[in-house]
Structure 1
């Protein structure tokens, strides 16, 4: 269990904290995980907050 046909361990990706879609980060990553879309939106919000 936990392995694919090639013998490598499968990676379970963490869900985005905003929308619930899978992120690009494994569940073992600590902190807030965002999907690529929400990550882009967050970058836009912080870049223009001057």
Structure 2
């Protein structure tokens, strides 16, 4: 019979972010429209540092 993990993780591990593409030109933030630190060819949703921080706060494990 399998034993449960000694240190169970209640929050799933975050997915590895896509490798950012260097700019310029820089992509616009999807939330506020300000320039980001990522090039326009970066895959996925790109956010500026402020919106990234706010998104991390919203999705953080509150447990």
TM-score normalised by the shorter chain: which range applies? 0.7 to 0.9
RMSD: 1.6
- What runs of 5+ residues in structure 2 fail to find an aligned partner? 1-22
Q: How many residue pairs get matched?
A: 41
- What runs of 5+ residues in structure 1 fail to find an aligned partner? 1-9
The structure where helix makes up a greater share of residues is 1
Rounded to whole Å, the distance in 2 between the matches of 1:49 and 1:18 is: 23
Superposed, 1:3-42 pairs within 5 Å as 11-42=24-55
Tell me the TM-score normalized by structure 1: 0.72
**What's the secondary structure of 2:36's corresponding residue?**
strand
What's the CA shift for 1:43? 0.3
Q: Larger Rg: 1 or 2?
A: 2
Tell me the TM-score normalized by structure 2: 0.59
Runs of 4+ residues deviating >4 angstroms: none
